[in-house]
Amino acid sequence: MRVLTVPNEFLRRVAAPLARLDGESSAKIREMLSTLARLKGAGLAAPQVGWDARVFVTPGRAYLNPRILAAAGTSIGEEGCLSIPGVVGRVDRASFVRLEYWDLSGRQHTDTLHGLAARVAQHEIDHLDGILFTDRMGA
């Protein structure tokens, strides 16, 4: 898969919910996982590969139709992005999030993520909402 980079306007679109998990969407998610591993990234959202779906992956895990139920704490950290090569910046994020999502088996989960996992989830969900980390730098 090819990762879209700025200024591609697709990165600014709000992604549509994944209506159903079928063979085609499962194959796309597996390809996203493979692409993420190849690029040694922390996360990859469907809009970054030109797919209009509320899906993101982290190494070894897929999050379908994720939704942040709660967020708290403050953590300022450096972020980069596969869609904005060479740019790194400090971003203020919640230090933990409670996340609802579905997995590749169609099972619903609610997890609490802390630290880097919480930061990655927030960064990727921003992608699903058409927001780039550079929009949050210095905010």
Q: Which domains does the chain have, with CATH numbers?
A: 9-136 (3.90.45.10)
- pLDDT confidence of 109, banded at 50, 70, 90? very high
* Distance separating alpha carbons of residues 30 and 118, to the nearest angstrom: 22
Question: By three-state DSSP, how is residue 55 classified?
Answer: strand
What is the predicted pLDDT for the residue at 103?
Answer: 96
* Distance separating alpha carbons of residues 32 and 23, to the nearest angstrom: 14
Asked if 124 is an active-site residue, the reply is yes
The mean pLDDT of the chain is 96
* Averaged pLDDT, 52-66: 97
**Residue 139 pLDDT greater than 70, yes or no:** no
* Distance separating alpha carbons of residues 121 and 113, to the nearest angstrom: 8
What is the predicted pLDDT for the residue at 37?
Answer: 97
**Residue 49 pLDDT greater than 70, yes or no:** yes
Question: By three-state DSSP, how is residue 33 classified?
Answer: helix
- pLDDT confidence of 45, banded at 50, 70, 90? very high
CA distances from 28 to 11, 62, 74, 104 (A): 18, 11, 34, 11
- pLDDT confidence of 25, banded at 50, 70, 90? very high
**Residue 138 pLDDT greater than 90, yes or no:** no
* Distance separating alpha carbons of residues 136 and 139, to the nearest angstrom: 5
Name the active-site residue from 9, 24, 78, 124.
124
pTM of the model: 0.95
* Distance separating alpha carbons of residues 97 and 22, to the nearest angstrom: 28
